């Protein structure tokens, strides 16, 4: 997992051939004019999910990971508590191949993620996003999904 600020995105462009396209989208798009939903950037190889939500209590959240896609999660506004654990430390519950959603159970670490922060999450990076904590605020988040094999 990587956590950093968008101004430092150039440091991570070599992590995947489509990373440059993902960060260009985050840096150049006027998200004030875009409603929540799915937006194609490069077909199924590269797309964005625009999300607006109120963080939820930890007991209502669940661990997840993805096998086919890298997540670049960017908190545009608001803040949340975010869980992280190496997938190998958690127990598998179920995997939905159509949604590329691997549900897991176990314990991990948590950090506060404020506006302007992004996280890069690979298949080995289990995460629990959208948790309420001290200082949490309604969140507007952009999740760019990058197909690993692209």
Domain count across the chain = 1
Q: pLDDT higher for 135 or 21?
A: 21
Average pLDDT score over residue span 120-145: 94
Residue 42's pLDDT is 86
Residue 149's pLDDT is 87
Range of the structural domain that residue 35 is part of: 2-147
CATH number assigned to the domain comprising residue 40: 2.60.120.370
For residue 44, give both structure tokens: 């199924």
**What is the spatial distance between Cα 107 and Cα 135, in angstroms, rounded to a whole number?**
22
Element holding 75 (H helix, E strand): strand 69-86
**What is the spatial distance between Cα 75 and Cα 141, in angstroms, rounded to a whole number?**
5
For residue 135, give both structure tokens: 């200082």
The percent of residues in the chain predicted with pLDDT above 70, rounded, is: 99
95 alpha-carbon distance from chain centroid:
18
Average pLDDT score over residue span 128-133: 94
Give the largest CA-CA distance in the chain.
40
How wide is the angle at C-alpha 81 spanned by C-alphas 46 and 26, nearest 5°?
30
Residue 32's pLDDT is 93
The per-residue pLDDT for range 8-48, each reduced to its tens digit, is 999 999 999 999 999 999 999 999 999 999 999 988 899 99
Average pLDDT for the chain: 96
In this model, does residue 65 exceed pLDDT 70?
A: yes
Confidence of residue 150 (pLDDT cuts 50, 70, 90): low
């Amino acid at each position: 997992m990587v956590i950093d600020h968008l101004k430092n995105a150039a440091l991570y462009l070599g992590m995947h051939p489509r990373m440059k396209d993902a960060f260009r989208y985050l840096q150049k798009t006027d998200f004030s004019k875009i409603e929540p939903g799915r937006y194609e950037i490069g077909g199924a190889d590269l797309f964005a999910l625009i999300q607006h939500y109120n963080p939820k209590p930890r007991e209502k959240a669940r661990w997840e990971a993805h096998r086919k896609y890298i997540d670049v999660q960017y908190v545009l506004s608001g803040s949340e508590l975010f869980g992280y654990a190496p997938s190998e430390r958690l127990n598998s519950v179920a995997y939905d191949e159509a949604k590329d959603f691997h549900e897991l159970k176990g314990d991990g670490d948590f950090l506060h993620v404020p506006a302007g922060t992004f996280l890069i999450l690979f298949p080995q990076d289990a995460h629990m996003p959208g948790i309420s904590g001290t200082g949490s605020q309604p969140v507007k988040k952009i999740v760019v999904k990058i197909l690993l094999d692209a």
